[in-house]
Amino acid sequence: MHKEEGRSSGKKNMASTLKGITKHEVPKSAYVLMVLLHVISSVMLTGFARSSDSMMLMGMNIPVVAFVGIFSSLGNILLILMVLLFEKLGFVTALIILVAQYPMMLTSIIKRGAVSSIQGLFTNTFSMIAIILIYANTRKSRKYMEKVREQAVIDALTGIPNRFACTELMNDLIKKGSKFAVVSIDLNNFKSINDTMGNRVGDEVLKGVANRWKNLADSGKAGTIDFIARLGGDEFSLVVRGYGSDDSIVNTIRVYESALKEKLTIDDCDYFLTACFGYAEFPTDDASEETLFSCADAAMHEIKRLGSTNHILRFTPALLNKEQNLETERKIRTALENDAVFFNLQPQFDMDHKLRGFEALARMKDTDGKIISPGEFIPIAEKIGLIDQIDLQVFRKSATFFAAALRKSGADVTLSINISVKHLMKNNFLEEIRDIIDISGIPVKNLEIEITESIMIDSDRAMHCIEEIKKMGIQVAIDDFGTGYSSLSYLNNLPADLLKIDKSFIDEMNSSESSKQYVASIIQIGHILGLKVISEGVEAEEQLKVLRDIGCDFIQGFIWGRPLPSEEAEKLIVSA
Ligand code: C2E
Ligand code: CA
Ligand code: CA
């Protein structure tokens, strides 16, 4: 059934869909209403013209025949509106109405010698001329408008619909709730054709491919209602409707894939093209045009990456994560290349609100200037082995700034740097650190390195590095304390100076007595082992009060200071 439906509507596929996208029609009911109003006004007019009565209106005695003019004008206005709103239909209707009035007028002139009908004869003729002129003019401007509209929805290079047309169609289908699939298509190796043969040949290839696909969509050969558009470059998009199952979508895509199999000859050179196809479905995968595009893109990128002989893939939610991660990876690489990783400084205080120092927190700017959160890029940088470069950029920049600020202010405060354990394990880690310390001139006693608790466990190499750091005179803080699995004996051997209690414990602290006691015991154990303790993520007065009561040494949190840009932090250092 779907095949038939597809085939029969295939011919008008592209052209009619395009028209449907851009044309906003006046409802037919308005036409019927206008014809009806005209009939009513004509009947009233005839009645009034024959009447010799008069009627009282606002104290004046007015002959009924005086209303003839009003109804006649009303009738003419209706006819003009009909032409303007319904063009050909309105024009033909208006002509029929006007022509039909001639016999009636002539009869009344000849038979009854009605002089008023001679006036009507002239009015009718003038109305007819006016309507013909208006119609001719409307047609001209309509054709012009259609051309403008066509240019807005047609891709100039290939002559097939463009991205705008495609999104309009999708939004239209979404509004109507009609199921469809959107296929993201990307030609394989197009860039190398462009690079080796030049842009002109590249353009011809795009035209050739677009032409084949457009003919296919028009023919309805695939058995579905298809709409092909060029989004830009070698990216195309296919909207498929009128299919039964997921298999029919794949079948349709295969038809488009096969259309590429035949060689494309340009300037006596043969080109054999292939493409990758990723698709998503409305409403199954998403209900917004934008996300559907992203879903289809994610599937297309994945199949491209896999490089398999199968070139078609359906979207699955897991792909979106992958896609996002890849996007973040691209952003990280670009930011590192452009030296766009920078830092904010979050102040740390003792319980009397005296400044202890700052934690340097990595920040990254996207090319469009948007800040990407470390929660997003740090885990990915760790995964792809770029965390050391981020750590080092933050360290180098913040140490340089901090050394200058210390010299200028004479303050004695600490700079805490986050170091990923992956970075710590690298062979040349210690040399890298020494270099930055030498170049920046930051005094080691003002430097602290934060290492996450969970990952340090059971690593001799990590332990050795920490010992070396300590030997250099740098302080060591155990970050996110409480989230790992430290045993007491492990803690006892830890060459650290500071425990940072993780924010999750501070969040919970005031919800029950046992949570509070838990934090209190961490602080006690820390003190027994000769460590200072800092609580992270302190936001509320009640938390601050409890932390004071249970003997915490320092706090870091929004209550007293958010991460600041360096200029703001400098003001705090100067006034410390
Ligand atoms: P972290 O080391 O535990 O850093 C503290 C995080 O808690 C920071 O988030 C900070 O803005 C946030 N924070 C501090 N006080 C409060 C508070 O009162 N309320 C709330 N809601 N949040 C608070 P940020 O800057 O987003 O950093 C997230 C994580 O990214 C850091 O957690 C750290 O693990 C990692 N990170 C940041 N910079 C670097 C870096 O240069 N190198 C490495 N390896 N990791 C970094
Ligand atoms: Ca930290
Ligand atoms: Ca932390």
Residue 537: CB within 6 Å of ligand 1? Answer: yes
Confidence at residue 493, expressed as pLDDT on a 0 to 100 scale:
77
Confidence at residue 3, expressed as pLDDT on a 0 to 100 scale:
41
Low-confidence residues in the chain, pLDDT < 70: 1-13, 20-24, 114-116, 454-458, 485-488
Residue 362 to residue 405: CA distance in whole angstroms: 19
Residue 497 in contact with residue 476, Cβ under 8 Å? yes
CATH number at residue 263: 3.30.70.270
Confidence at residue 406, expressed as pLDDT on a 0 to 100 scale:
97
**DSSP secondary structure, 398-421, as one string:** HHHHHHHHHHHH----EEEEE--H
Residue 415 to residue 402: CA distance in whole angstroms: 7
Instruction: State the distance from the centre of ligand 2 to the C-alpha of 300, rounded, in angstroms.
Output: 38
Residue 391: CB within 6 Å of ligand 1? Answer: yes
386 and 496 in a single domain? The answer is yes
Which residues lie near ion ligand 2 (Cβ < 5 Å)?
418, 450, 479
Report if residue 3 sits inside a domain: no
Residue 339 in contact with residue 354, Cβ under 8 Å? no
Residue 17 to residue 220: CA distance in whole angstroms: 13
Report if residue 7 sits inside a domain: no
Take atom 23 of ligand 1 and give the residue whose Cα is closest. Answer: 537
Residue 308: CB within 6 Å of ligand 1? Answer: no
394 and 476 in a single domain? The answer is yes
Report if residue 98 sits inside a domain: yes
Residue 453: CB within 6 Å of ligand 1? Answer: no
**DSSP secondary structure, 13-81, as one string:** HHHHHHHHHH--PPPHHHHHHHHHHHHHHHHHHHHHHH---EEEETTEEEEGGGGHHHHHHHHHHHHHH
Residue 285 in contact with residue 182, Cβ under 8 Å? no
Confidence at residue 2, expressed as pLDDT on a 0 to 100 scale:
43
Take atom 21 of ligand 1 and give the residue whose Cα is closest. Answer: 537
Q: What are phi and psi of 365, to 5 degrees?
A: -105, 135
Residue 403 to residue 415: CA distance in whole angstroms: 9
Ligand with minimal distance to 507 CA: 1
Report if residue 320 sits inside a domain: no
Closest ligand 1 atom to Cα of 500 = 3
Report if residue 2 sits inside a domain: no
377 and 522 in a single domain? The answer is yes
Report if residue 288 sits inside a domain: yes
Closest ligand 1 atom to Cα of 559 = 18
121 and 236 in a single domain? The answer is no
145 and 167 in a single domain? The answer is no
441 and 567 in a single domain? The answer is yes
Confidence at residue 53, expressed as pLDDT on a 0 to 100 scale:
78
Only one residue has tokens 């050179």, namely 269
Confidence at residue 116, expressed as pLDDT on a 0 to 100 scale:
65
138 and 176 in a single domain? The answer is no
**Where among 113, 135, 153 does a domain terminate?**
153
Take atom 44 of ligand 1 and give the residue whose Cα is closest. Answer: 420
DSSP-derived letter for residue 554 is E
Determine the structural domain holding residue 300 and report its residue range.
163-315
* CA–CA–CA angle 362, 365, 369 (5° rounding): 150
Confidence at residue 381, expressed as pLDDT on a 0 to 100 scale:
95
pLDDT in tens, 554-575: 999 999 999 999 999 999 999 9
Instruction: State the distance from the centre of ligand 1 to the C-alpha of 388, rounded, in angstroms.
Output: 17
301 and 413 in a single domain? The answer is no
Only one residue has tokens 């040399």, namely 431
Residue 441 in contact with residue 403, Cβ under 8 Å? yes
Residue 347: CB within 6 Å of ligand 1? Answer: no
Residue 479: CB within 6 Å of ligand 1? Answer: yes
Closest ligand 1 atom to Cα of 344 = 25
pLDDT in tens, 326-383: 899 999 999 999 999 999 999 999 999 999 999 999 999 988 888 999 999 999 999 9
Residue 420: CB within 6 Å of ligand 1? Answer: yes
Instruction: State the distance from the centre of ligand 3 to the C-alpha of 502, rounded, in angstroms.
Output: 6
Confidence at residue 108, expressed as pLDDT on a 0 to 100 scale:
76
Instruction: State the distance from the centre of ligand 3 to the C-alpha of 131, rounded, in angstroms.
Output: 79
Ligand with minimal distance to 534 CA: 3
Confidence at residue 1, expressed as pLDDT on a 0 to 100 scale:
37
Instruction: State the distance from the centre of ligand 1 to the C-alpha of 309, rounded, in angstroms.
Output: 44
Ligand with minimal distance to 420 CA: 1
Ligand with minimal distance to 423 CA: 1
Confidence at residue 8, expressed as pLDDT on a 0 to 100 scale:
44
Confidence at residue 5, expressed as pLDDT on a 0 to 100 scale:
42
Tokens of 51: 């009447």
Q: Who contacts 566 (Cβ-Cβ below 8 Å, separation ≥6)?
A: 343, 344, 345, 398, 401
117 and 196 in a single domain? The answer is no
Instruction: State the distance from the centre of ligand 2 to the C-alpha of 360, rounded, in angstroms.
Output: 8
Report if residue 358 sits inside a domain: yes
Report if residue 417 sits inside a domain: yes
* CA–CA–CA angle 107, 108, 111 (5° rounding): 75
Give the type of residue at 320. L
Residue 374: CB within 6 Å of ligand 1? Answer: yes
Take atom 10 of ligand 1 and give the residue whose Cα is closest. Answer: 563
**Where among 286, 315, 344 does a domain terminate?**
315
Give the type of residue at 518. Y
CATH number at residue 479: 3.20.20.450
Residue 346: CB within 6 Å of ligand 1? Answer: yes
Closest ligand 1 atom to Cα of 419 = 44
* CA–CA–CA angle 353, 491, 501 (5° rounding): 30
Residue 254 to residue 274: CA distance in whole angstroms: 11
Residue 272 to residue 264: CA distance in whole angstroms: 6
270 and 347 in a single domain? The answer is no
77 and 220 in a single domain? The answer is no
Q: Which of 345, 349, 361 to mutate to test the pocket of ligand 1 (most atoms within 8 A of CB)?
A: 361
Q: What is the number of domains present in the chain? A: 3
Residues β-bridged to residue 536: 556
**Where among 121, 153, 185 does a domain terminate?**
153
Q: Of 326, 236, 244, give the one whose Cα is nearest residue 279.
A: 236
Closest ligand 1 atom to Cα of 558 = 18
373 and 496 in a single domain? The answer is yes
Confidence (pTM): 0.62
